[in-house]
Amino acid sequence: MSSTDPATSISLELGFGIREFYHDAEEKSKIIVQEMERISREVRESEFYSQLCKQIESEEFQSKLSRTLGSHFFDVTMVIYALGSLERATPPKYQLAFALLLQQDFFGWITRIEVFDPSLSLADILVLEKFGCTVLWMNEECRRRVDSPTLFFMPYASKSLQGNLLEANWWPSNINQVILLTNRLSATVEDYHDFLRDGTIFNLDSFMENWEYLEAIHKCIQEINIHTNSENFADSFLAHLKDVTNNRYLHYQFYDLPFMIKMQYLEAIQNYTEEMRISLGQPSDNLLYNFAFHFFNVAPEIDMQTLLQGEEEVRLNFRRQFDKIWKIEEYQIVALIEALIINAWYEQIAETENDL
């Protein structure tokens, strides 16, 4: 009777476990692929997609596209950030189907698709590879600096990640090669101004820096907007933080304080942005609610650092200090926010008692 070495036994069990894990992922991926094929047909046959095709083929869109692509018309990379997990949710399947249809149906100008999301499962990766997408293994934090025309599709990206992308390409030669498909930047800036006009429950002045990036670039953005008949999809992008002092709701991404810094880029670029909102019927599964294609048009001679408020060294120093703070654990961040809200609530009570 032969005995098995413990190390060998563990190795065999581990190997069996890995094979089972991979086999399970393969089976799940086959189901997802079937769903994707159905969803792709659904999107392609929808009124939403029909109207989208007309606007993408319009003279206005093609003019902006030709200006951005130049001689690279048939050599464009689409980078998808923040897609979400195909295995765990339905909307990412529609988002991916839409991206694949863009590649298939429009003049062949998108030659490759790259995808990154930290939530991707093995089954997700197998599906993406099945459809010819390249899965990125390094988290770029949306800081890719482009040297050729690139379409960034950011279905669920936070404002801080949008700010990261703008910040990484904060030169005319770079930003003018970016096409950004995401929720409307102009609407984000409008919401931010409403937020400031209504007041805040605690002092967020130190977090305002990155809001300015959106406003500064606004003049250079051409925004082609995507309309839908439903506002339900907005919940995919916003968490609502209730203002305990006056029952107001602040549109605020709860786990994303850095977006308050990055918004300076979103604000700064507003005046240089062409934002094209596409008129649509009711899309499948609220696809692309409040989305737009954003084209940037910054004159080569503009020093984009001058579009931002304050001195560059002060901004960089603040960024370094904030990065250190942001390394604390998420639960500590939540506790900090709760403490600030409670403190503001007590201050409000104290002021009310003093008035009495």
Residue 245: predicted pLDDT: 27
Which residues lie below 8 Å from residue 48, measured CB to CB, with a gap of 6+? Answer: 228, 280, 281, 282, 283, 284, 287
Residue 204: predicted pLDDT: 44
Residue 315: predicted pLDDT: 62
Phi, psi for residue 234 in degrees, rounded to 5:
-60, -30
**CA-CA distances (angstroms) from residue 339 to 198, 326, 327, 344, 345?**
22, 17, 18, 8, 10
pLDDT digits (tens, 9 = 90+) for 33-51: 999 999 999 989 888 888 8
Q: What residue ranges of the chain have pLDDT lower than 50?
A: 1-2, 7, 10, 12, 14, 199-209, 228-258, 280-285, 329-331
Residue 338 CA neighbour count, 13 Å, CB half: 6
pLDDT digits (tens, 9 = 90+) for 286-311: 566 678 899 999 999 999 888 876 66
Rounded to 5°, the CA angle 137-142-144 comes to 85
Rounded to two decimals, the pTM is: 0.73
Residue 274: predicted pLDDT: 79
